[in-house]
Amino acid sequence: MQCGLVGLPNVGKSTLFNALTESNLAQAENYPFCTIEPNIASVNVPDSRLDLLSKAAQSKSIIPSQIQFVDIAGLVKGASKGDGLGNQFLSHIRQVDVVVQVVRAFSKDGIIHVHGAVDPLFDMDVIETELLLADLQSAERQLSKKHKAIESGKDVKHILEQALAYLQSGKLLQSFNWTLQERIILSRLGFLTAKPMIYLINISEQDLMGKTFPYRDAILEHANGKPVVWMSTQVECEIAQLSQDDRSVFLKDLSIDHTGLEHIICQVYRSMGLISFFTVGPKETRSWTVREGAKAPEAAGCIHSDFEKGFIRAEVIFWEDYVAYHGEYGAKTAGRMATEGKDYVVRDGDVMLFRFNV
């Protein structure tokens, strides 16, 4: 799964990317378009349950789920017409699963703003207008083509017509009440505004420490229910340079419960409707990601397609029981293990052992 960091130039995307991925892959400079080709890096999904489960099973290793962050070059007004290498950058956004819109809400001498002044609401409008215009062009182009998808699929044509009407009204496709199947089709059609969007508001270290959130009410009104994360990329950079123990002390000193990475990934999982289940044993404790509402065979397929094809049953222990009863044997003895069939809906935190036959 890929999360694209999107925004105007000089809003802190590359600095944030380096902090989240604990790398120096992205060039962060005080001028527009210092990033041209997207930077991509995988990061582990933080989950405190993994350590607890590993200790209970005395696992030799821990393998967390991973998520990719993509640092996409800054968009500018007119990007949908190709301004500022807009066509190239918009194509990069089409490849990601979630859009994390980085918005600048701090002022600092020496760090220029592409429009001359810090105005988060204006910046958000610019980005979303360019994404909407690009989608509008895409819908018109796809409807005008007599390609196989439209000739053979009435559903696709109907969705394209709906999407066009919605875009013409000036609304993002993500805000429309699409069915799951329609969302899948929209994703295949490459619509940018159909992707889940998270607003990441980049504030100063002083505002973070003082728990003052500039433009808060206006930004929340604009977000209209979409997730908003307040973060200081400067603080995240400092956190990334610390050891795990020092991070805990640093966060406590700032009265912060979680890092920015943890906040973002939490919102990504919620926006995408994802949950985690675990496989645990002496060799390894491992986290797997599956969609919310998935049944046991689908979860088995995350591990290997043969597990799904030959699914017989799943032995399930909730993670808290696994830890409380010191592993599989204790949980089973205490009657906390359940044997479930193909219609079992996986819960976030299930420890699962799949039985299959191919």
Binding residues for ATP: 10-15
For the chain, strand residue ranges (E) read: 2-6, 39-44, 61-63, 66-71, 98-104, 197-202, 228-231, 274-280, 284-291, 311-318, 338-340, 350-356
Q: For 309, what's the count of Cα atoms within 13 Å in the CB-facing half-sphere?
A: 4
Given a contact cutoff of 8 angstroms between Cβ atoms, the answer to whether 316 and 351 are in contact is yes
Dist. CA 27–CA 33, nearest whole Å: 10
Given a contact cutoff of 8 angstroms between Cβ atoms, the answer to whether 350 and 278 are in contact is yes
Q: How many CB atoms lie within 10 A of CB 357?
A: 8
Torsion sign over Cα 33, 27, 257, 62 = positive
Annotated binding site: 10-15
**Phi/psi at 45 (5° precision):** -85, 115
Torsion sign over Cα 1, 284, 306, 277 = negative
Side-by-side strand order, sheet with 39-44: 39-44, 66-71, 2-6, 98-104, 197-202, 228-231
